[in-house]
Structure 1
Amino acid sequence: MDCGAAVVVENIISSLLETLSEELVSPMLLEFARKEQLHNHFNNWQTILHKIQAVLQDAEERQFTVRFVKIWLNDLKDLAYDIEDVLDDFSTVALRQKSKEESQTIIGKIRKYMYSFFDQFTFKYSLAAQIKEITARMQKVAKQKDELGLIERIGGSRNRRQQRIPSTSLVNKSLVFGRESEKDFIINKLLFGEEESCEVGVPVIPIVGMGGLGKITLAQLVYNDDRVKTFFELRAWVCVSEEFDIVRVMKTLLESLNSTASDKNDLNGLQNEVTEMLSKKRFLMVLDDVWNENYNDWMALRSPFEAGSPESKIIVTTRNQQVASMMGTVSAYHLKEMSYDHCLSLFAQHALGSTNFDNHPNLKVVGEAIVKRCKGLPLAVKTLAGLLRCKMGYHEWEDILNSKIWDLPEKNCDILPALRLSYYYLPSHLKQCFAYCSLFPKDYEFQKDEVVHLWIAEGFIHQPKGLRKVEDLGS
């Protein structure tokens, strides 16, 4: 199973388990459980499901290196589908019972009891067998979870890290608005910042800011400026990311410096190569997206950099002030929100292919309102503009503006509300629709209606009460 298919499986399982947890506490099934004395069984199922959900992220990551974890995930998927079938059967019986009870007179109920005693006995026996089988399988899967050493990563960052695209040094300057003064400030630090140089090594300039402010874009603008290219003999860009791997960083650095991939995995050999390449050279290095707060790791990483010229510089981008304080040798540059006017131009460029609304005056007011809600965060602006790029209807733009997702609390959450919209705009049980689309071969040409009908056939789309048709929701 390749990485893409594996993520599809995990995504489907996650959505399935969420749906099952919701069904187990639905009013109809709770009433059914009360009548048939199934409360304890349903509570047990709910507890096991929660324990399994807590380790899904760890299982997703380990399935690529541990074959039995991959088997465990496939078994879990089969079990989830079977539980879904059983709950559907229970819901059908519960609905039938409720319908009959409401339509029958007292005489009819007595007659029904007399004639259906045998049927009731058969049903009770079948019900008990299904409960017993599912419970045994769930307990087995839960036990295997422990045997495989899967650990809880609720609220962890592994999933986000795998989904994030590593940064590169390339930038399309025509799509960048504002940040000229910020760029010039950093460049002056690089070229004329000797007075702030640290006595213990290469000066490190941290760029600090929350996610979505444009730290990477600012570093890209600086890195590709002609003045910087002329001044520094060597330049290198490394995306460090959340999982600090010093061997990977060194290999990426070598490849960035000499355009040749290294097959070495020995840290000592890699660092000696880097030291030799940087020796006496004036270099600029960008270490992007740094999260590691371990001082000893930083000391180990930076040791080869001391071989360079004293005029060398290092730029670090991070969301974490502690990282900036640990690594920085000069005052950190705290990136601020982008101006409203620049955000508006950025939004129009990505949504309409123009820097203004002259060709779409009907969208100007709602577009301005959306940009205001982005609060100066360029990544949020670009994300929403991308969502609306193929939507030219006023009401489609208004739907984004009025979405309740803006009102979600941001405390202890580093995902911007505007960025949530790109994935969470639909209810959670519809996320598997995206995973389902990835099962199609690359470049496969399909019709929208075809996909919608496949989603409906798979049971991915649930029609909200009193709202649009299920086909419209799928569309």
Structure 2
Amino acid sequence: MADPFTSALVRHVLGRLASEAIEEYGLLRGLKNDLSALENTFKLIQGVLHDAEMKQTKDKRVEEWLKTLKSASLEVENVLDEAKTVAMIKSLAGEMGNKYKRRAFFSYHMNPLMVRFRIAHKVKNMRKKLEVIDANRSRFQLTSNTTSEDSAGIASEISNRETSSLMPKICGRDEEKEKIVDEICNQEIGIGHDGDDVRVYAKWGMGGTGKTTLAQYVYNHEKVKTHFELEFWVYVSAVFDIRRIIKSICGLVDKQLDKMSTDYLLKQLKNKLKGKKYFIVMDDVWIENEHMEKWGELCKALSCGENGSTVGAPLWL
């Protein structure tokens, strides 16, 4: 199979465009329609990426289309990074006082009017570029792996890429596999979070390096199954949805979820895990600053487990 990097990149960009944290990038607030259009176009393209990546080895036109998409996705990432950086500098400038603000106003790179115009121009250009890329996909008769209804929301991507605890055949890396199992079952191994008694065993790396496969091996290992009282496999994705994570662990259905506040759900999670030694694999976790507050809230509920309870997390860098 072809390198899935483009799919992972598109998924990451979608996660950032869908994130509430984007509202903190003040320069983007007036570009809601353009950003929404960008997000929707990415979702439409995302539906055919699997087919495109399978066909690119036989069709050079598809390969070039994917390269163009990859380049455009990186440009969108750069624009979001620039907006985020400017927002941070603006915040620091506020703390440094009026003298710095006056200097910034007369700077081409930091003048708020010039910066807003520059970023708005880039976003609008990216919207046009993505629309052209989306229009070109019809030339290759690519098959979508989502329904038209699914493409309206990011939930379709979560569903299509969601992993399970079922273990494929895994060859090699025996020493690494056994070492991880031993460490998971070792009461003294683990890293807490902000003082909470939550052991986290993290496996870092880019996509395609076998993090999920190793997690599946550990999750299904007989030593792990006899060591822990409860086991849960949770698919997280680039969108850190704390309610969906609780739903996966507590076995709730969507109708129940709609009627409950996040605070009530966290209490339900705490009651389920309290006094039990559990092992939870949170697969496909993305390292984003905006996730840390939600992770902290989740840890408060997870910290109620019996000593030795562990969260395993294959992490995207």
TM-score (norm 1): 0.34
TM-score (norm 2): 0.48
